[in-house]
Structure 1
Amino acid sequence: MQVDPLPHLDEHTTVIAAGADAVWRGLCAELERSFSRAPAAAYARLVGAADPRQSGPRPLAEGSAFPGFRVLVASPGERLTLQGRHRFSSYLLIFRLEPDGPGRTRLRAESRAAFPGRAGGAYRRLVFGTGGHAVGMRRLLAAIRRTSERPT
């Protein structure tokens, strides 16, 4: 599916001592855990997210949704693209899994977004200007790393 390009905001990376299949499972599990909790759903409703609740197929696949995000691309072990929209922003969160040596996977999380109008600009300053987005992404990647490296 073709997506209109959105401006690049940032990228965060971690190397995980696990193969791509384990990282994929960890990625999906942590996204479900992080974004399907009550605070995430309340926030999605507050900002008027297009996808305010969990829906669609499980495990995550194209068309799956959880508060604030819809799965646009799901290529297990390779790429997961999440798309979202609310009254202040349209955004993409793109996860790429790449080999990084035997039994190691590099996980990259790229954020892209547009923030239209004055309200969008204020929202961008609040989320990105304060460093809140970067802190959240680092925590998410650390949780994915811990989950992925756990023996099954």
Structure 2
Amino acid sequence: MNRDRAWQALLKVVCTDPNDPSAPRGFRLDSADAPARLALSGRHWFSRYALIFELDEEGPSRTRIRAQSWAEFPGVHGKIYRALVIGSGGHQVVVRRLLRQVAGAA
């Protein structure tokens, strides 16, 4: 799929309004550079996190979507939460499922 179509599929999956990147589900929009990069962030009691999507055009009808995630887990509760989320492999499962949903939406 071309990069514009991949961008629309990404917004359809991660935003409450697929036409508006400023409305991500569960995140705050840090930046949107259509159709190349979408940077989101969030926080709760146990962590501060960022999720960045980069869309690389690899040919006329081929786009690679890369997801990067960054997080801080401050304090004792943060360390426990990190062990549960990252140590269990749950985070990896969720991000891969999200990317599969984007592929399906395209």
Same fold, TM-score > 0.5, yes or no: yes
Match runs of 1:8-23 below 5 Å: 18-23=1-6
Aligned to 1:92: 50
Alpha-carbon distance in structure 1 between the residues aligned to 2:86 and 2:36:
27
Return the structure number with greater relative CO, CA threshold 8 A, min gap 6.
Answer: 1
Aligned to 1:80: 38
Q: Which runs of 5+ in 1 are unaligned?
A: 1-17, 37-53
Q: How many residues align?
A: 105
Alpha-carbon distance in structure 2 between the residues aligned to 1:65 and 1:144:
14
Q: 2:71 aligns with which of 113, 132, 141?
A: 113
Offset from partner CA, 1:95-118 (integer Å, 9 cap, x none):
000011221001000000110011
Match runs of 1:3-152 below 5 Å: 18-32=1-15, 59-61=20-22, 64-67=23-26, 69-148=27-106
TM-score by length of 2: 0.92
Report which of the two has the higher share of strand. Answer: 2
Q: Deviating runs (4+, > 3 A) in structure 1?
A: none
* Residue aligned with 1:60, SS: coil
TM-score by length of 1: 0.65
Q: CA RMSD in A?
A: 1.5
Q: Which runs of 5+ in 2 are unaligned?
A: none
Letter in 1 for 2:92: A
